Amino acid sequence: MTTKSIPLTDELHAYLVAHGAPPDEIIRDLAEETRSVLPEHATMQVAPEQAAFLTFLTRLLDTRQAVEVGTFTGLSSLAIARGLPEGGQLTCFDISEEFTGIARRYWARAGVQDRIDLRIGPAGDRLRELPHERYLDFAFIDADKTGYPVYWAELVPRMRPGGVIAVDNVLRGGRVIAPQNEADRAIAAFNDEVLADVRVDPVMLPVADGLTLARVR
């Protein structure tokens, strides 16, 4: 028995991915294309076990309306879209036509393009265009780290009671306890803000680079 999460070697990580929900051919091709076309940015993609978890969570919450902030080449959005029922909708936000051009091709190949509404532009501005109602079942934040407080402020009031916001990179490779740059400091401050927010019940999980799940009251 251990009182904390065990470290993952490469071999153990491969085992964990293989025994959870192993990536299918579409996800494997998307990861491979991202690595070969955008080698400097490829680590921005969510980990395979996170992708599987996003699909699981989307289904668990019976999600009909979801939002993603930070789409890149589309792995997390594909995972969320796959968890939606017929008629469900995912609204995605990103600033890059180049990155999301790749995403669009893989959404089409997976047959989920009709469930995804991609909006290009700074998410802080574009999120304000969403209905001012508590209608979202699930939201995933994974864009520029200094923008997290703005995305949080726009999303929390739009979540239905019991809806969940998932936030990626909350451990910043471990640097969150000794921040070394602006993004690290932003996440350290953001994590404190989430903890103090009486509108949500959060948990922080050591999945990949750290994943916070916040259930909105």
Residue 15 makes CB contacts below 8 A (sequence gap 6+) with: none
Comparing CB distances to ligand SAM, the nearer of 22 and 162 is 22
CB of 4 to ligand SAM, least distance (A): 26
Complex with ligand SAM: residue 166 or 214, whichever CB lies closer: 166
Question: What phi and psi values does residue 188 have, to the nearest 5 degrees?
Answer: -60, -45
Among residues 55, 58, 65, 73, the one that binds ligand SAM under rule CB under 6 A: 73
Phi, psi of 199 (to 5 degrees): -80, -10
Cα–Cα distance list, 133 to 152, 157, 159, 193, 213 (Å): 15, 7, 8, 23, 21
- The site map against ligand SAM for 46-65 (x = CB under 6 A) is x-------------------
- What is the separation, in whole angstroms, between the first and last Cα of the chain? 33
Q: Measured from the CB of residue 88, what is the shortest distance to ligand SAM in angstroms?
A: 18
Q: Per-residue contact track with ligand SAM, 111 to 150, x per CB under 6 A?
A: -----------xx------------------xxx--x---
Q: What is the closest distance, in whole angstroms, from the C-beta atom of residue 68 to ligand SAM in the complex? A: 7
DSSP string, 33-54: HHHHH-TTTGGGSPPHHHHHHH
- Positions touching ligand SAM (CB under 6 A) are 44-46, 70-73, 75-76, 93-96, 99, 122-123, 142-144, 147
